[in-house]
A = this chain, B = another copy of it.
Amino acid sequence: MKPTIYDVAKKAGVSIATVSKVVNNTGRISEKTRSRVKEVMKEIDYSPSSVAAALTGKRTFTIGVLVPDIANPFFAEVARALENHARMTGYAIILCSTDYQREREQDYLELLLKKQVDGIIIATEARDWKVFKKLLDKNIPLLMFSIDHPSFSSHVVTTDDIRGGYLAGRYLLDNGHRNFAVIVEENRESGRLRLEGFKQSLMDAGIELSDSFVVFSKSRVEEAKKAAKQILALNNRPTSVFAATDLIAAVFMNEARKANISIPEDISVIGFDNTIHAEIADPGLTTIAQPTDELARYAIHQLLESIEKPNSLPGHRIMLAPELIERDSVKNLN
C-alpha cells in the first residue's frame, strides 16, 4: 500500500516526529538527518496524506466553489481563474455546479461541510439566506462571488454591476441611440443591478425606459432565443439592445440575422461579460468586460485571509470596475 510516515521513519532509522519535521520544515534538525530522510522519501516515493494531516486540526487545503452552471462561459472563466489562483497557494478546488437548482446547492453545501473544506466561494444566486447563516454559525469562511445582498456579513467580491449597466447605457446614448430594449437575466441580483445602472444612464439623459422594452431570460440558448424573438416582434422596434450577458447577446444577434435584420445596421447590440462569445461573434460584440482574473485574485486572497485569521474583520465588499470593450456591434447614429 501507500507508504506512510512510519515506513520512512523505519527505513531512515529515525522517529516519525523527525520525519514530520523535515516534511513540514518545522523544528530544528541536523542537515545530515534531513537529507537522509529526504533521500528515503524519494526512494520509497512517499507522499504525505493530507487526509491524516487535516484530522489533526490542520487545514484540508481545499475550498468549495459553487457556480450555477459550469458550462456557462462566464463561470467557466471564473472557475479557471479561481482555480489558478488557488493552485498557486496550494489549495485545491471542489467544483459544484448546481444547475440553478436550490436543492443541489443545499446538497453540495452539506457535502462540503462533511469534507471540511477550509472555505467556500459562492457564485450561485440563492434565495435562502438562512442556509448561509448556518454556515457562518459553523464559522466556516464564506465569500460571495459576483453576488451580493445587504444581509451578507461575509466578504463579497463582485463587479460593479450598476456601473456596468451605466457604461452600457452611456455608450449607446453617446452613439446617438434613443430607443432601447434590455434583456435582463432572471433571478440574478446582478441582472437587476445592471438594469438599474442602465436605466440610470438614460434618466440622466432624461429618457425613461418603458417596461415593455424589458424582457427576462436566463443565460441559456433556448430562453435567450425566446427573449430575442420577443424583442424582434415589438412593433416599434428599438435601435439598440442591451443584453445582460454575452451569450444572450450572441443569441440575439443570431435571431436577428435569421429575421433579416442586420447588426449593427438595423439594430445595435451591447453585451456583458466579455466572454469568448463576444470575441467570436460577428460582428464583434461590444460589451462590458468583467475583470474576471482580478475578481478571482481578490476572492482567493480574501478567503484565504479569513481562513488564516478566523473571526476577525467583518466582511469587506470589494467591487471592481467593469470596462467597456468596443467592437463593432453598435452603430453610431450621429
A residues near B (Cβ < 8 Å) are: 1-2, 45, 47-52, 54-55, 60, 62, 69-71, 73, 76-77, 79-80, 83-84, 87, 92-97, 99, 104, 107-108, 110-116, 134, 138-139, 221, 247, 250-251, 253-254, 257, 276-277, 279-280, 282
Contacts and interface: CB of A to CB of B under 8 A. Distances in A.
Contact of A52 (B55, B93, B95, B276): B55
Given A79-B95, A80-B69, A80-B97, A221 B51 contact: no
A47, A51, A97 interface centre (most CB from chain B within 10 Å): A51
A84 B98 CA distance: 9
A49 B112 CA distance: 10
Contact of A49 (B107, B108, B116, B139): B116
B49 A221 contact: no
B2 A51 contact: no
A114 B69 CA distance: 28
Of all A-B residue pairs in the complex, the 4 with the closest CB atoms, nearest first, are: A95-B95, A76-B76, A50-B114, A71-B76
A42 to B, nearest CB: 13
Given A49-B116, A92-B94, 6 more contacts: A50-B114, A70-B76, A80-B97, A83-B96, A92-B112, A277-B280
A205 to B, nearest CB: 32
19 contacts: A45-B134, A47-B110, A47-B113, A49-B55, A50-B116, A51-B51, A51-B54, A70-B76, A73-B73, A73-B76, A73-B276, A76-B76, A79-B95, A84-B97, A94-B95, A221-B279, A247-B280, A254-B282, A277-B280
A52 B55 CA distance: 6
Contacts of A97: 79-80, 83-84
A282 B84 CA distance: 33
